[in-house]
Amino acid sequence: MQDAETLAEQPPAGADEERPANSREKGLNRVLHILEFLHANQRAIGVGELAKGLNAPRSTTYTLVRELVEAGLLEMAGDGNRVYFGKKLYLYGMAYMRGNDLLRRGRQEVDTLSRETGETSELCMLQSGRYTIVHSSPGTRPFRISSATGLQIPLPWTASGRLLLAGLDRGRIEAMVTQDDLVLPDGRKIELDDFIDDIGKARVTGYCVTSGLVDAYTKCLAAPVFSAPGKVEATMCLVVPIDTSEDRTGELLTVLRERAARLSIS
């Protein structure tokens, strides 16, 4: 990092991307980072730790946090030092849900799907270019396969990712996938071309199954939810043990696709 500084001032430089420096940052941006940080850590965090974690000046962090707490977007946690999300965010979130048929109905479908099948079921959407688990309902197996709502995962790691990108042209797909995204947790690398092929296939077949991508023990079945003909707005998916039989997988897939289709009517 020091190299950059030693070199010289940073004039506008390259035509692309603004990375002026470490100088002043807009308050709003700082706030957005604070929220992201809290979301990533899923727990109350002290103001000092926040400032450190975001490379933000302490003084600014204090004022911003105070303002956010006053506004109700954040709340002081028990000991009066740490902060976490506040009621206002919950209220806004519920308002979003109320205004969003797809989400509201999708949550129900997912819940009943996992109750009926006993498997973990999820509703997934594209969220600023990333795959996001919007709602998940754990299965009834003794050892549950569960993942946190709001978790963001590289698109190429998932079956849903392949469906969510169906219909996009190569350029847009490339823009959404970084090199890191193509490397699986176990180190294997997915070729971009293979990924794009998969997307094409998924688009045609109307579903997608992946095995042992995110981890070695699970298989992922996904079906698209359309908001308009050809436009994939979300996916429903089932996460099952990788040794699930062909037959059962087929059955599950049928139920899954049925429910996803029902959601699409909207």
Partner DNA sequence: AGTATCTGTCCTGTATATCATACATGCGTC
Partner DNA sequence: GACGCATGTATGATATACAGGACAGATACT
90 is a site residue for a second copy (CB under 8 A): yes
- CA–CA gap between residue 161 and residue 166 (Å, rounded): 9
Query: Which does residue 81 bind out of a second copy, DNA, none, counting CB within 5 to 8 angstroms by kind?
Result: DNA
Which residue reads 């579903």 in tokens? 207
Indicate the helix (H) or strand (E) that contains 240: strand 231-241
Residue 76, SS3 per DSSP? strand
30 is a site residue for DNA (CB under 7 A): yes
Least separation in angstroms between residue 224's CB and a second copy is: 18
Query: Which does residue 37 bind out of DNA, a second copy, none, counting CB within 5 to 8 angstroms by kind?
Result: none
Give the number of other Cβ atoms within 10 Å of residue 265's Cβ: 8
- CA–CA gap between residue 222 and residue 231 (Å, rounded): 16
- CA–CA gap between residue 109 and residue 223 (Å, rounded): 13
Among 19, 39, 58, 115, binds DNA (CB under 7 A): 58
Query: Which does residue 84 bind out of a second copy, DNA, none, counting CB within 5 to 8 angstroms by kind?
Result: a second copy
Least separation in angstroms between residue 23's CB and DNA is: 4
Question: Which residues are CB-neighbours of 53 under 8 A, at least 6 positions away?
Answer: 37, 45
Rounded alpha-carbon distances, angstroms, from residue 237 to 163, 209, 264: 11, 9, 14
Least separation in angstroms between residue 72's CB and a second copy is: 5
Among 66, 141, 144, 170, binds DNA (CB under 7 A): 66
Kindly indicate which of the ranges 41-49, 109-117, 199-207, 243-251 contains the residues binding a second copy, using the contact rule CB under 8 A.
41-49
75 is a site residue for DNA (CB under 7 A): no
Contacts with a second copy by CB under 8 A lie at 26-29, 31-32, 35, 38-39, 42-44, 64, 67, 70-73, 84-100, 103, 125, 127-128, 132, 134, 149-150
